Each structure stands twice: as C-alpha cells, then as structure tokens.
Amino acid sequence: MSDDTIRSLITSGVLLAGLLAVRWAAVRWVRRQDWASPQIGRRWIVQIRNAVFILMAIGLVFIWAEELRTAAISLVALGAAFVLATKELIMCVSGALVRTSSHSFTVGDRIDVGGIRGDVIDHTLLATTMLEVGAGHARSGRTITIPNSMFLTQPVINETSGHDYVLHNFTVVVPRSEWPTAEATLLREASERTADYLEEAREQMERRAKLHSLDLPSVDPIVVMESSGSADVALTVRFPSPFHEKGRLEQEIMRSWLGAPL
C-alpha cells in the first residue's frame, strides 16, 4: 500500500474511534439525566446516534476523497467501455421497447422497414424475422432477420394494422391519347372485383374512422390522373381489398386492362 493509503487508514481509524467515544459518552450522559419523560431521553439518544453517523460519513468522504475520485473515474471509463462494446445490443433492446410501446406491428402484419418488406413471423428483444414480399405482393421464399435497432432510425410502414381490409393502389403509365379508355377500363375492372365486399369494407373503414376520430375515406374504387411527361399520363388506381387478396386483385385488373381492346 502507498503512504497516502496508510495515512488515510490511520486517519479513518482515529476518526471512527473518536466519534464512537463521543457517542458513548453522550449517550451515557443522556441516560443519567432525570428527564420528564422517558421518550425525551430516547429521542436524544437517537439524535446523537444519527449525528455521529452523519459526521462519520462526511469525515470518511473527506479522508478518502482522492481515492473516491480515482475510483469514480475508473467506473466511468469502465461504463463507457461497456456501453461502446454493447452499443448494438442496447440499441436493439431499445428498438424492441419502441416497437412494444408504440404497438407499431405484431406477428402476421406486413411491414416495410427501410425498404425491407415482408410478413412478420417472429420478434424478440434483439431481432424481428419476416418472410420477404417482393414484386406483385408475392412472397419471395426468403426469410429476412433485421435487428430491432432499425426501428430507432427507420420509419415502420404497417400495411395491415391488424385489419381485414386495406385501401390498395397501383399506378400505370399510358400515352395521353389512350388515357380515357384506360381510365374507364381500370375503373370498371376494379369496381367489378370489389362489388361483393364493398359494403363490408365500408363498415370496417367507418369503425376505424370513429375509433381514431378521423374523416371517413372514400372506399369506392377511383382512378386519379397525374401528368408523367409531355406524352404520358400516370393513372393511379385505388380500391378496397382484403389484405391477403390485394396482390391477386391488382394482377387481375392489370391483365384485364392489358387485354382489353383499345
């Protein structure tokens, strides 16, 4: 041990011995007094013991201040090294807490995180596992596992939100001369394929709108036009669809439109 440590130990011993002696003498004096009530004597004894303990703690802090400062610096350095070494794990756990607290998705939902799209099949404190969904809303057959830390930096798009029906849309680009025919064909095909469940979808949308205090969106199929260059027009088709049927319905509408006579 260094000389400073030995000196601190001796000083601490002297401090403890001195304070204990003072406490013993003070308590003995209190007990010899003729108090009007025994409770007064007990109160003085408790106050003396507490005062001695506080003085002891303050004295030891002053005596060992340098050693405590060194130990604190070491603990801070150790804590910083630990945080750096486990940064990714901490971010993954934090992402899991964000997911849980925000109720952003659950198993069975279809989500898009940072351009990675799929159906959630499992999630833990560290990672979330999805079945990848590619073009045409079809599963690619691949399984993707993403770290939960992505939920801290990337927006989570939930395409299902636990509901049976969604408003699905897709866009096609046609020459300006063909847009009236294309619009009529796309709208007719979308209307025919959604007629059987349109009212059921409307009722669910109404319940969701009331639950979240929102305006009811238009549930009927629509086609929206947007200019796509000097010679083309972009037609966006939006229609209600059962979640697991939207890819199939989109393909049927597209095939009917492409096969229709101009």
Q: What is the mean pLDDT of each run of 10 residues along the chain (262 residues)?
A: 74 87 88 77 83 87 81 84 83 89 84 87 89 75 90 86 76 87 89 87 80 74 81 88 82 83 54
pLDDT recorded at residue 158:
84
Q: Which two tokens mark 52? A: 């001695």
On whether the CB atoms of residues 205 and 165 are closer than 8 A, the answer is: yes
* Burial of 116 per CB tally in 10 Å (0-12, 13-18, 19+): middle
On whether the CB atoms of residues 154 and 238 are closer than 8 A, the answer is: no
Q: Provide the β-strand partners of residue 143.
A: 131
What domains does the chain contain, in order, with CATH numbers? 3-85 (no CATH), 103-158 (2.30.30.60), 165-259 (3.30.300)
pLDDT recorded at residue 260:
62
pLDDT recorded at residue 161:
62
Q: Could you tell me the pTM of the whole model?
A: 0.51
pLDDT recorded at residue 137:
67
pLDDT recorded at residue 49:
86
DSSP letter, residue 169: E
Q: Which of 249, 239, 227 is nearest to 173 (CA)?
A: 227
Q: How far is CA 37 from CA 30, 32, 59, in A?
A: 12, 13, 34
What is the rounded CA–CA span in Å between residue 195 and residue 173? Answer: 25
Characterize the bridge pairing of strands 139-147 and 127-133: antiparallel
pLDDT recorded at residue 261:
58
Q: Which two tokens mark 227? A: 């200019």
Residues whose CB falls within 8 Å of the CB of residue 141, separated by 6 or more in sequence, listed in order? 132
